């Protein structure tokens, strides 16, 4: 009987492993491949990889130029990644993970939108920012999420055309793959979906019964619901345009779809999809999952940064480390705060967080919740119902709703000063943040409280929760300052004088730059500036080394900004040497060799014009001075 038990156990284990192995997904970057491949070429490259690895691979898309989204059967993801790592044609291979929305939501009217006001310590004071700007229709923010309810009256005025990037029809729940319709049809999972083999293969353990969240509609409302329209709620940036991009379905969304959507939203090309006619300046990602930032996300975020696009991402709701893609460099990662400014219990934390904002918390253990993040939503539990607003009886909480507050503030800042780039926006949001308060009854992060009524809470520090609490008013005021920039070479030779030009600096509309102040931050001894207070100056480079200079520009309203530039200076090249001696100091033979050349010419003279005397003359020989002539003879 023991052998029978072991046999059955082995068969069950094998069956379980086979099921687990059926859904391996990876993203592969081909070495040296920077351009997009045509569909047939991409399929052929996948087929070639399959032959090299001896594994059955299926092509699933091309999320970025040179990247292939691949499915595999009969092999574990870790094993497939290991084999791909040893392939010389592969630059990197990462798991194509399933990402999820950050929270389950709910909303009401402005009076209950405490997070936009200034009555609570962590509230962002959007009212102060609105005294300066309320948003601009030329600024587009892409919301990569579950899609949107396109008829919600508080969102209709703000929408621009979006796209549905979910490749798997079962995951999308709309009976098709990618298309130009980003409508949220509902991400519910009912009994039928729970037993759908296609959905089981995609979601695995993530497949659980749930109602539709209308998550993208909720995020969009926090960001840019129409304001001052005598209806509903107000978004952070009233007049900013929202671009809905659908990437999350019934159990989340895959990295390959999210990465392709990020590229499209930011104005970069995606194979098989028409270019975005209204590219976004800001991309909001209220989604994420465990694990480190992958090379695939790093590449696309840097591409977007180079294209002047800011990526804003929520830190996560797991109390632990910051999740991906918020933990990627160059994103603006947003953590979550309670109404009193301490870290909300569920918010992830760590040094990757750049700023923190209200995420919603209840305080009380019974409804209504006291401090939810109220926003636009829908009444449908599965398919869409009536458009409405959430409230404290169905609380909307999570770092999903901290991120769009930061994205909305960034949109207000671009309204004030469109010249701001993604690095400028991040730097000014962080520099204008308010300091975190301290609650003596809870520990300091990263240590978190363990009580039943305060679990996960802690006092924020700048190492664990970012630079401080998001301040919309101060950030918009900071945005009004000019943007300093320096045009100058990055390398030069010692002994030269290079020109440093601050002309690329930009002041906001209605202001001009009126003053420049140059200084040397660090340089070898002897370095100097030809002018310290002009738009253009010269930097003298006496010796090789590293030189760092700074310019501070001031505009007509008295606001200022600074930029720093670094130069690497090489040793001056030695003067060219001559191969012929001159005078008595000529080459290695000393000063007495000047007579040698005339003497040799005198002795050789007879041979240059015929045979020397005393030698017989051969009539076939033709006296000749040229190489060609001698060769002929």
Q: Would you state the pLDDT for residue 603?
A: 53
Whole-angstrom Cα distance, residue 396 to residue 399? 10
Q: Is the pLDDT of residue 544 over 90?
A: yes
Q: Does the N-terminal peptide bond of residue 446 adopt cis geometry, omega within 30 degrees of 0? A: yes
Percent of all residues in the chain with a pLDDT value above 70, rounded to a whole number: 85
Q: Is residue 304 part of a domain?
A: yes
Specify whether 384 is located in the same domain as 533. Answer: no
Which of 400, 402, 432, 505 is labelled catalytic?
400
Whole-angstrom Cα distance, residue 270 to residue 276? 10
Of 2-16, 34-48, 365-379, highest mean pLDDT: 365-379
Q: Are 426 and 329 in contact (CB under 8 A)?
A: no
Domains in the chain, number: 3
Whole-angstrom Cα distance, residue 169 to residue 246? 13
Q: Would you state the pLDDT for residue 439?
A: 96
Q: Is residue 286 part of a domain?
A: yes
- The 3-state DSSP composition of the chain as helix, strand, coil percent (nearest 5) reads 25, 20, 50
> Domain containing 553: what range?
491-570
Q: Is the pLDDT of residue 587 over 50?
A: no
Which residues make beta-bridge pairs with 529? 539
Residue 319's SS3 state is coil
| DSSP single-letter state for residue 291 | S
Greatest distance between any 2 Cα atoms in the chain: 130
Phi and psi for 365 in degrees, rounded to 5? Answer: -95, -5
Specify whether 469 is located in the same domain as 559. Answer: no
Q: Are 601 and 607 in contact (CB under 8 A)?
A: no
Whole-angstrom Cα distance, residue 493 to residue 43? 50
Mean pLDDT value of segment 180-184: 97
Specify whether 182 is located in the same domain as 253. Answer: yes
CA 162 to chain centre: 20
Q: Is residue 117 part of a domain?
A: yes
- Distances, alpha carbon 469 to alpha carbons 119, 130, 183, 290, 335, in Å: 14, 18, 33, 25, 9
Q: Is residue 579 part of a domain?
A: no
Measure CA of the first residue to CA of the last residue in the chain; give whole Å.
Answer: 104
Which of 107, 125, 145, 196 is labelled catalytic?
145
Phi and psi for 165 in degrees, rounded to 5? Answer: -100, 5
Q: Are 162 and 245 in contact (CB under 8 A)?
A: yes
Specify whether 158 is located in the same domain as 86. Answer: no
Q: Is residue 608 part of a domain?
A: no
Whole-angstrom Cα distance, residue 217 to residue 621? 101
Whole-angstrom Cα distance, residue 65 to residue 511? 41
Whole-angstrom Cα distance, residue 581 to residue 587? 5
Of 361, 284, 358, 380, nearest to 325 by C-alpha is 284
Q: Is the pLDDT of residue 287 over 80?
A: yes
Q: Is residue 631 part of a domain?
A: no
Q: Would you state the pLDDT for residue 50?
A: 87
CATH number at residue 511: 2.60.40.10
Q: Are 77 and 26 in contact (CB under 8 A)?
A: yes
Whole-angstrom Cα distance, residue 376 to residue 453? 29
Specify whether 207 is located in the same domain as 92. Answer: no
CATH number at residue 44: 3.30.70
Ordered strands of the 287-288 beta sheet: 253-254, 98-101, 287-288
Of 262, 283, 260, 280, nearest to 272 by C-alpha is 260
Q: Is the pLDDT of residue 591 over 50?
A: no
Q: Which of 20-37 are b and which e, b meaning 16 or more Cβ less than 10 Å from the residue's Cβ?
A: ebebbbbbbbbeebeebb
In the structure encoding, which two tokens stand for residue 441, read together?
A: 């009854």
Q: Domain end: 555, 570, 585, which one?
A: 570
Mean pLDDT value of segment 158-176: 96
Specify whether 371 is located in the same domain as 462. Answer: yes
pLDDT band at 579 (very low <50, low <70, confident <90, very high): low
Q: Would you state the pLDDT for residue 230?
A: 82
**Residue 78, class by beta-carbon neighbours within 10 Å (0-12 exposed, 13-18 middle, 19+ buried)?**
exposed
Q: Is the pLDDT of residue 1 over 50?
A: no
Which residues make beta-bridge pairs with 537? 500
Whole-angstrom Cα distance, residue 404 to residue 253? 19
Instruction: Decide if 145 is catalytic.
Output: yes
Specify whether 154 is located in the same domain as 176. Answer: yes
Which residues make beta-bridge pairs with 253? 99
Mean pLDDT value of segment 417-441: 96
Q: Give CB contacts under 8 A, 24+ apart, made by 188-191.
A: 188/212, 188/250, 188/381, 188/382, 188/383, 189/250, 189/251, 190/382
Instruction: Decide if 400 is catalytic.
Output: yes
pLDDT band at 109 (very low <50, low <70, confident <90, very high): low
Specify whether 421 is located in the same domain as 312. Answer: yes
CATH number at residue 385: 3.40.50.200
DSSP track, 184-240: -----B-HHHHT-HHHHHHHGGG---B----HHHHHHHHHH---SSSSS---SSTT-
Q: Is residue 121 part of a domain?
A: yes
558 phi-psi bin (left φ>0, alpha ψ -120 to 50, beta other): left
pLDDT band at 602 (very low <50, low <70, confident <90, very high): low
Phi and psi for 343 in degrees, rounded to 5? Answer: -65, 130
Q: Domain end: 570, 586, 617, which one?
A: 570
Q: Is the pLDDT of residue 622 over 50?
A: no
- The two counts, helices (H) then strands (E), for the chain are 15, 23
Cα-only R_g, the chain: 34
Q: Is the pLDDT of residue 108 over 50?
A: no
Which of 59, 215, 473, 565 is labelled catalytic?
215
Which residues make beta-bridge pairs with 546? 568
Q: Is the pLDDT of residue 257 over 50?
A: yes
Whole-angstrom Cα distance, residue 458 to residue 440? 10
Whole-angstrom Cα distance, residue 128 to residue 133? 9
Specify whether 85 is located in the same domain as 187. Answer: no
More confident of the two residues 268 and 557:
268
Q: Is the pLDDT of residue 17 over 60?
A: no
Instruction: Decide if 215 is catalytic.
Output: yes
Q: Would you state the pLDDT for residue 4?
A: 38
Q: Domain end: 67, 96, 125, which one?
A: 96
Specify whether 25 is located in the same domain as 145. Answer: no
Mean pLDDT value of segment 562-587: 71
> Out of 97-106, 126-135, 212-221, 334-343, which region has the weakest mean confidence (pLDDT)?
97-106
Specify whether 252 is located in the same domain as 343. Answer: yes
Could you count the other beta carbons within 10 Å of the beta carbon of residue 525? 7
Q: Is residue 295 part of a domain?
A: yes
Whole-angstrom Cα distance, residue 217 to residue 215? 5
pLDDT averaged over every residue in the chain: 87
pTM of the full structure? 0.79
Whole-angstrom Cα distance, residue 508 to residue 480? 6
Q: Is the pLDDT of residue 588 over 70?
A: no
In the structure encoding, which two tokens stand for residue 318, read together?
A: 């797991």
Specify whether 180 is located in the same domain as 41. Answer: no
Q: Is the pLDDT of residue 6 over 90?
A: no
Ordered strands of the 513-522 beta sheet: 491-493, 560-570, 545-555, 513-522
């Amino acid at each position: 009987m023991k052998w029978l038990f072991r046999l059955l156990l082995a068969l069950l284990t094998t069956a379980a492993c086979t099921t687990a192995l059926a859904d391996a997904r990876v993203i592969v970057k081909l070495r040296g491949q920077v351009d997009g491949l045509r569909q047939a070429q991409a399929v052929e490259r996948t087929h070639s990889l399959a032959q090299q690895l001896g594994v059955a691979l299926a092509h699933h898309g091309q999320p970025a130029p040179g990247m292939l989204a691949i499915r595999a059967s009969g092999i574990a993801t870790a094993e497939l990644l290991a084999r791909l790592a040893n392939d010389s044609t592969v630059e990197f291979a990462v798991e194509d993970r399933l990402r999820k929305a950050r929270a389950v939501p709910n909303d009401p009217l402005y009076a209950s939108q405490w997070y936009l006001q200034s009555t609570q310590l962590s509230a962002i004071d959007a009212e102060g920012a609105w005294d300066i700007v309320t948003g601009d229709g030329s600024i587009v923010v892409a919301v990569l999420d579950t899609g949107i309810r396109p008829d919600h009256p508080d969102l209709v005025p703000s929408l621009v055309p979006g796209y549905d990037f979910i490749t798997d029809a079962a995951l999308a729940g709309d009976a098709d793959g990618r298309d130009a319709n980003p409508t949220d049809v509902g991400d519910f999972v009912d009994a039928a979906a729970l037993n759908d083999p296609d959905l089981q293969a995609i979601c695995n353990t993530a497949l659980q019964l749930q109602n539709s969240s209308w998550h993208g509609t909720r995020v969009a409302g926090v960001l840019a619901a129409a304001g001052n329209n005598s209806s509903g709620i107000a978004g952070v940036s009233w007049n900013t345009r929202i671009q809905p991009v659908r990437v999350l379905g019934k159990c989340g969304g895959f990295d390959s779809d999210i990465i392709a959507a990020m590229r499209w939203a930011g104005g970069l090309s995606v194979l098989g999809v028409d270019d975005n006619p209204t590219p976004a300046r800001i991309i909001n990602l209220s989604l994420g999952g465990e694990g480190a930032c992958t090379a695939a996300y790093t590449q696309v975020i840097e591409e977007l940064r180079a294209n002047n696009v800011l990526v804003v991402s929520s830190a996560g709701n797991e109390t632990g480390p910051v999740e991906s893609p918020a933990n990627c460099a160059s994103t603006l990662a947003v953590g979550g705060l309670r109404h009193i400014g301490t870290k909300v219990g569920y918010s992830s934390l760590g040094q990757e967080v750049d700023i923190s904002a209200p995420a919603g918390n209840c305080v009380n253990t019974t409804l209504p919740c006291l401090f939810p993040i109220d926003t636009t939503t829908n009444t449908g539990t599965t398919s869409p119902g009536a458009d409405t607003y959430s409230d404290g009886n169905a609380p909307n909480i999570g770092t999903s709703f901290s991120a769009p507050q930061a994205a909305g503030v960034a949109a207000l800042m671009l309204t004030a000063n469109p010249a701001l780039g993604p690095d400028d926006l991040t730097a000014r949001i962080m520099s204008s943040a308010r300091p975190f308060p301290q609650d003596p009854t809870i520990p300091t992060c990263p240590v978190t409280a363990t009580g039943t009524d305060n679990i996960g809470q802690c006092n924020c520090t700048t190492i664990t929760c970012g630079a401080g609490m998001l301040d919309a008013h101060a950030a918009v005021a900071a945005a009004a300052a000019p943007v300093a920039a320096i045009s100058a070479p990055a390398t030069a030779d010692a002994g030269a004088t290079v020109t440093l030009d601050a002309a690329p600096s930009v002041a906001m509309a209605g202001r001009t730059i009126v003053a420049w102040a140059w200084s040397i931050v660090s340089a070898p001894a002897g370095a100097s500036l030809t002018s310290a207070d002009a738009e253009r100056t010269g930097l003298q480079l006496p010796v090789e080394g590293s030189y760092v200079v700074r310019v501070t520009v001031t505009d007509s309203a008295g606001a200022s900004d600074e930029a720093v530039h670094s130069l690497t200076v090489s040793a001056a090249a030695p003067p060219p040497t001559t191969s012929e001696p001159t005078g008595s100091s000529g080459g290695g033979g000393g000063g007495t060799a000047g007579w040698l050349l005339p003497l040799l010419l005198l002795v050789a003279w007879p041979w240059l014009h015929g045979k020397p005397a005393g030698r017989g003359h051969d009539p076939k020989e033709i006296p000749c001075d040229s190489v060609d002539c001698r060769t002929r003879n």
